Amino acid sequence: MTTTRRRRTCRTGPLLRLLLAAVPVLALLLAGCADPDGDGAAGAPAVPTSAPAAARSADAAPTPAGTLLVADFGSDTATFVDPTHGAVGSVRVGTAPYAVAVGPDGRAWVSTAEGVAEIDTRARTLLRSIPYRSWAGPAGTGEYRGGGMGLALSPDGTRLYVGVNIPGGDGVLEVIDTAKGEVTGAAPIGRRPFDVDVSPDGREVYATGHDSFDVTVVAADGLATRRIQVAPYGTEGGLGSWLKPHYTAVRPGDGRLLLPFEGERLAVVDPATGQVAIEPMTADTHQHGVTIAPDGRLLVVGSGPITKDNRGPSLTVRNPDGSERIYPLGIPHENVALSADGHTAYVTGGFTRDGSWDGITLVDLDSGATHRVEAGHRPLGVAVL
């Protein structure tokens, strides 16, 4: 009950006053018991299907352009990072976040074990979490966890494609209507879909199957599929092989798919014919994340040696003519994004295997100078806002 400015009052008895006083205490007790470890293990899921994060203060400035958004695979958050000063805030999104996609309207999507989190990047708040249609097992952590891995937006931003890992079997590409916030379709793809990409015209989606040595080409309309084996070293060793595809870049101009292997071979895939050509590379290190610049430069993250004869972690910048410059990184990294002016690479330290660290290395592509900043817990996916 309240007292108005007209001095209208309401009298309460002793028992009612006692009950009203107890309400805040009871609310605090319930909140404290909901998840004692802070990991979503007790009671309700870590992220409800539609749950806003705590609102920022009314006078907080909007997130500036050029801020980085990273998926914290080692925690349940996505972190906003000032490239100069480091982490500036985080949003709770769900278990073991993996990849990030950003739209031009200020919304971003993060794949997690349970579903895709939608974030208002300007206000730095969670808008909703969209559960998968496919059952990937209980939400877990670690390199082989089920749930969302690679994801990508359609060019018009109306559809989001996410590769869902189904432990022990083939994956599923789920299609999300970004306006409705719900899954509207699904297609079978390869095992452990590390990466998902979209053709420039939006007509095809490419899901990279790490454990099946392939790329699945999915028609955006109708979701018909066909698989292209990409295994320049063969498939010997199966699930135990290190020589598998990880991430893919779509080359501007001709739409070819570029998949680096071991700093030795670049698979160039024609998605129309399924033909695979091999070009030499020079970094001689196990390779993971990629991105490609509008001018055709390919950036490839080298995570470190898998045999004693390999070189250490590095970043390769490969020019359209095939020439390469190698930037040593010293410690393992996973993925990479490029600044809007094309002069700085942001390389995340959240390597999917042992040896990850909680930061980003900034690489000045002109001078080769590097600088490290704090960036969440085991950051994998990264995007520039």
How confident is the model over 135-194, as pLDDT tens digits?
999 998 988 999 999 999 999 999 999 999 999 999 999 999 999 999 999 999 999 999
Query: Whole-number mean pLDDT of the chain?
Result: 87
pTM of the full predicted structure? 0.85
Average pLDDT over residues 93-114: 97
How confident is the model over 258-285, as pLDDT tens digits?
999 999 999 999 999 999 999 999 999 9
> CB 281: neighbour CB atoms within 10 A?
23
Average pLDDT over residues 80-109: 97
